[in-house]
C-alpha cells in the first residue's frame, strides 16, 4: 500500500525571520526560497505581506519566482491583511493564505481584549473572506495548545465549514509534552465533526527543547499530515521545529512512521549553510544532521567500526543529506563563464551583468589571496554588500591597522556613506575594536552591540576566509550584519557596515504575534 504523504511546510522566512536579528533583505529571502524549492519543500511561508512594504515585496518576488512549491503568506484575521496577502501572492503558480487569531483565554482576554464569541465570529469571517480570494486557506488558532478544548473545537468546526483546507495547531509558547500534544491533536480530530474535510498540521516551538518530538507525536499519535518547521530550527526564543530533524526522522524511521516526504534530502546541508550564512545564526557543531560533527567519529572504537561496516555507528549517510568533502570548485585560473555557471548551480541569481562583473572581480581578488575557492566562499562573496553596491548606503573602501605587542592597536578606515567618502581613525583594545570604533565615531549610530562572532567559512586551514557576524540593537530593532574576508579585521568592518546598512533601511514592521 502506498504510504501517506507528510506535507513539509517551511516557515524559515516567516516564523524563522521573527527571531531577533534574523531579519533578511528581499534578495536574501528570494535566494533562500529558491534553495527551499530545490529542497522540494511542499509549502514555503514566504512572510507576512501586510506587516511592511518590505515583507510585501519579498512575498511578491517569491510568489513570482517559485514554481515547484506552494507559496504562502501569513495574515492576521483582518480583511486588510488577507487582501494584502492575496495581492502579494497573485503571481504564484500555487498559493496559500495562512490566517490566524488567538484562542486561549489568556490571549483573548489580555492581548486581544475580545470575548470568545467575537473571536469565533472573526475567525469564521476571515476564513470566508480568504476563501473568496484563494482556494487554499490555512487557519491557526494562536496559542491553540493552551486553549480550552471545547471552545477550540467550536472555532475549528466553524472555520472548516467556511472552507479552511488546513488546520494548524500551534504550541506558540513551546509548553507541550510529546504524548500530551499528540493526544491533543487526536482529541481535536475526533471531536470536530467535519475534521475529515481538512488536513491537520502541527506547529511547535522549542522552548523546552521538544519541538521536534512534539511535532512527531502530533503526526504519529494525532494523525497530523503537515509539519511546520524551519531550517536549523531558526525562530524566536529557542526556535521552531527543525526541518532537517523531522525529515530525517521520518525517512530513517519509515518503519515506524510509514510516511513519505517529497524533500530532496541532499539539499539539506546546502540549505542549512545558506540560512546560517545569511542570518549569522551559527549552527552548533553537535546539532543533529547539519552540525559539523554530526557525522564525525572521533573515538577509535567508532572509527574502527565505521571502517569495517558503516551501519555499526551510522544510521544515516552523510552524503544523503548533502555533506560533501570540501571540494575545490574554482581557482585563480577559472574564467567568468565557469564562475557564472557555478553561481547558477548554486541557485544564485544576480540581477544584472554589472552585478555578475562585480562578483567576478571580487572572486578574482579572493583567488589571488586564497588558492582554493569553495562553494561556501562563493556564497559569502555574493552576500558581500560590495557586489550590490547600488543598494547599500555604507561600503568599505579601505582599511589599515597597526598592532604590535605592547602597543595600543590603531586603525584607519575609509568608507562610503551614500555618495560621500568618509575617513575615520581610532585606537582600540585590539585591531577589530579599533576599526569598529573608528567607523562608529564617524557614523554615530548609537547602536548597542549584542553579538560579535568569528567563524572559519571552510574548516581545516588558516587559509579559510573568516566570516564575522555583528548583531546591533537600536531603537527597538535588532539587526545582523555578516562580512567575509581572509583578513578578519576587514571581515569585521564589513559586518559592522552591513549591520549599519540594515539599521539605515528603516523598514517598519508589525509584530506577527501582536
Ligand atoms: O507560533 C504561532 O502561534 C505562530 C502562528 C502565527 C501560526 O507562529
Ligand atoms: Zn510560531
* pLDDT per position as a tens digit, 45-69: 999 999 999 999 999 999 999 999 9
The CATH number of 387-505 is which of 1.20.1260.10, 2.10.109.10, 3.40.30.10, 3.30.160.270? 3.30.160.270
Strand 394-402 relative to strand 466-474, pairing: unpaired
Angle among Cα 387, 389, 394 to the nearest 5 degrees reads: 120
424 Cα: distance to centroid of ligand 2 (angstroms): 43
> Percentage of the chain with pLDDT > 70?
94
Which residues have a beta carbon within 5 Å of ligand 2, which is an ion? 15
186 lines ligand 1 (CB under 6 A): no
Mean of per-residue pLDDT scores for the chain: 91
Which residue has a Cα nearest atom 2 of ligand 1?
Answer: 172
Nearest to 33 by CA among 16, 5, 56, 13: 13
Cell of 452: 560579535
172 Cα: distance to centroid of ligand 1 (angstroms): 6
Confidence of residue 508 (pLDDT cuts 50, 70, 90): very low
> Percentage of the chain with pLDDT > 90?
69
Distances in Å between the Cα of 136 and the Cα atoms of 97, 197, 260, 341 are 7, 13, 22, 37
Pocket test for ligand 1, best of 74, 123, 164, 233 (most atoms within 8 A of CB): 74
86 Cα: distance to centroid of ligand 1 (angstroms): 19
pLDDT at 325 over 80: no
| Span 27-50, pLDDT tens digits | 889 999 999 999 999 999 999 999
* Ligand 1 atom with minimal separation from the 168 CA: 7
302 Cα: distance to centroid of ligand 2 (angstroms): 39
Q: For residue 71, list its beta bridge partners.
A: 44, 95
Nearest to 273 by CA among 315, 234, 236, 314: 234
> Could you tell me the sign of the dihedral formed by the alpha carbons of 396, 400, 404, 408, in that order?
negative
pLDDT at 6 over 80: yes
pLDDT at 333 over 50: yes
Q: What is the CA radius of gyration of the chain?
A: 24
Rounded mean pLDDT, 104-129: 98
* Ligand 1 atom with minimal separation from the 512 CA: 6
286 Cα: distance to centroid of ligand 1 (angstroms): 28
* Ligand 1 atom with minimal separation from the 140 CA: 7
Cβ within 8 Å of residue 501, ≥6 positions away? 385, 392, 393, 394, 481
The CATH H-level superfamily of 7-279 is Aldolase class I (3.20.20.70)
Pocket test for ligand 1, best of 78, 164, 512 (most atoms within 8 A of CB): 512
Q: For residue 260, list its beta bridge partners.
A: 5
Cβ within 8 Å of residue 503, ≥6 positions away? 445, 447, 472, 474, 477, 479
Higher pLDDT, 511 or 103: 103
Rounded mean pLDDT, 256-281: 94
15 Cα: distance to centroid of ligand 2 (angstroms): 6
pLDDT at 94 over 60: yes
Ligand closest to the CA atom of residue 235 = 2
Which residue has a Cα nearest atom 1 of ligand 1?
Answer: 172
Query: What is the predicted pLDDT for the residue at 512?
Result: 43
Domain boundaries, the chain: 7-279, 295-320, 387-505
17 lines ligand 1 (CB under 6 A): no
Amino acid at each position: 500500500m502506498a504510504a501517506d504523504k507528510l506535507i513539509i511546510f517551511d516557515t524559515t522566512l516567516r516564523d524563522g525571520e521573527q527571531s531577533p536579528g534574523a531579519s533578511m533583505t528581499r534578495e536574501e529571502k528570494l535566494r533562500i526560497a529558491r534553495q527551499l524549492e530545490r529542497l522540494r519543500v511542499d509549502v514555503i511561508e514566504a512572510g507576512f505581506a501586510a506587516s511592511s512594504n518590505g515583507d510585501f515585496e519579498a512575498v511578491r518576488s517569491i510568489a513570482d519566482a517559485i514554481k515547484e512549491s506552494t507559496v504562502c503568506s501569513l495574515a492576521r484575521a483582518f480583511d486588510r491583511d488577507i487582501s494584502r496577502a492575496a495581492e502579494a501572492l497573485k503571481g504564484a503558480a500555487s498559493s496559500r493564505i495562512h490566517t490566524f487569531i488567538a484562542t486561549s483565554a489568556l490571549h483573548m482576554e489580555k492581548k486581544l481584549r475580545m470575548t470568545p464569541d467575537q473571536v469565533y465570529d472573526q475567525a469564521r469571517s476571515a476564513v470566508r473572506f480568504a476563501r473568496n480570494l484563494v482556494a487554499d486557506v490555512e487557519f491557526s488558532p494562536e496559542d491553540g495548545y493552551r486553549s480550552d478544548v471545547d471552545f477550540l473545537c467550536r472555532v475549528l468546526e466553524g472555520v472548516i465549514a467556511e472552507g479552511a483546507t488546513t488546520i494548524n495547531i500551534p504550541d506558540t509558547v513551546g509548553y507541550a509534552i510529546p504524548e500530551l500534544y499528540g493526544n491533543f491533536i487526536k482529541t481535536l480530530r475526533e471531536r470536530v465533526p467535519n475534521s475529515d474535510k481538512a488536513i491537520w498540521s502541527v506547529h511547535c516551538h522549542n522552548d523546552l527543547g521538544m519541538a521536534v518530538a512534539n511535532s512527531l507525536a502530533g503526526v504519529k499519535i494525532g494523525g497530523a499530515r503537515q509539519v511546520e518547521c524551519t531550517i536549523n530550527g531558526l525562530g524566536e526564543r529557542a526556535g521552531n521545529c527543525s526541518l532537517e530533524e523531522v525529515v530525517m526522522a521520518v525517512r530513517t524511521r519509515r518503519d515506524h512512521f510509514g510516511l513519505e516526504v517529497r524533500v530532496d534530502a541532499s539539499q539539506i546541508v546546502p540549505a542549512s549553510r545558506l540560512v546560517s550564512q545569511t542570518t549569522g545564526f551559527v549552527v552548533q557543531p553537535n546539532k543533529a544532521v547539519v552540525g559539523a560533527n554530526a557525522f564525525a567519529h572521533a573515538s577509535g572504537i567508532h572509527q574502527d567500526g565505521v571502517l569495517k561496516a558503516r551501519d555499526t555507528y551510522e544510521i544515516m549517510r552523510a552524503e544523503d543529506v548533502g555533506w560533501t568533502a570540501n571540494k575545490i570548485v574554482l581557482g585563480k585560473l577559472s574564467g567568468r563563464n565557469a564562475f557564472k555557471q557555478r553561481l547558477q548551480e548554486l541557485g544564485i541569481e544576480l540581477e544584472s551583468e554589472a552585478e555578475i562583473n562585480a562578483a567576478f572581480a571580487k572572486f578574482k581578488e579572493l583567488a589571488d589571496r586564497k588558492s582554493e575557492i569553495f562553494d561556501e566562499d562563493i556564497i559569502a562573496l555574493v552576500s558581500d554588500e560590495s557586489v550590490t553596491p547600488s543598494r547599500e548606503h555604507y561600503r568599505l573602501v579601505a582599511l589599515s591597522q597597526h598592532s604590535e605587542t605592547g602597543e595600543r592597536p590603531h586603525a584607519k578606515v575609509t568608507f562610503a556613506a551614500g555618495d560621500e567618502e568618509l575617513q575615520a581613525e581610532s585606537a582600540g583594545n585590539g585591531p577589530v575594536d579599533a576599526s569598529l570604533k573608528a567607523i562608529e565615531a564617524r557614523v554615530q549610530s548609537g547602536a548597542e552591540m549584542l553579538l560579535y562572532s568569528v567563524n572559519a567559512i571552510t574548516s581545516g586551514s588558516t587559509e579559510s576566509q573568516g566570516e564575522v557576524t555583528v548583531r546591533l540593537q537600536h531603537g527597538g530593532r535588532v539587526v545582523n550584519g555578516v562580512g567575509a574576508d581572509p583578513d578578519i579585521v576587514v571581515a569585521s568592518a564589513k559586518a559592522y557596515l552591513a549591520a549599519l546598512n540594515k539599521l539605515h533601511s528603516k523598514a517598519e514592521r508589525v509584530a506577527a504575534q501582536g
